[in-house]
Amino acid sequence: MDKNRKFKVLVTDDEEDILVLLKFRLQFSGYEIIQATNGEETLSKVKTEKPDILILDYKLPDMDGDKIARLVKEERNIPILIFTANINFLKTAQCEAIDDFILKPFDPEDLLGKIGSLLDKYYNKV
């Protein structure tokens, strides 16, 4: 991954405390943060802000992560990391647009590792 590039991360969650925590942790790690609280706002910000990666809560009030992920991939081919508190997500998620997932509550170091791996995979192709 290009250490000189400041990657733009779009974080979508309907829980304010999760957004605050992620913003603080990711900014401290050198990422530029954009936030959204629902699917419609996420889709709008994918178009206008052009993030490099999306961290997406699977269950949002207006639509689920599968639908958002599919619509995002139609707009831009960026990595999508799903956040979920539901272990049954693995059984129900059917979307190939989702690149990886992390269970809530999460370890910040695991999250940073997954973000780094996805950014490497998408932006350092040889």
pLDDT in tens, 13-30: 999 999 999 999 999 999
Q: How many domains does the chain have?
A: 1
- Residue 126 domain-assigned? no
Residue 104 is predicted with a pLDDT of 86
Residue 92 is predicted with a pLDDT of 60
If you compute the radius of gyration of the chain from its CA atoms, what whole number of angstroms results? 13
Q: Tokens 């959204």, residue? A: 36
Q: Tokens 């052009």, residue? A: 50
Residue 125 is predicted with a pLDDT of 60
* Maximum alpha-carbon separation in the chain: 39
CB-CB contact of 83 with 102 (8 Å): yes
pLDDT, one tens digit per residue, over 31-77 is: 999 999 999 999 999 999 999 999 999 889 999 888 999 999 999 99
Residue 126: pLDDT band (50, 70, 90) is very low
C-alpha to C-alpha distances, 105 to 34, 63, 110, nearest whole angstrom: 21, 21, 11
- Residue 115 domain-assigned? yes
We report the CATH number of the domain holding residue 47 as: 3.40.50.2300
CB-CB contact of 57 with 63 (8 Å): no
- Residue 2 domain-assigned? no
Domain extent, residue 43, equals 8-121
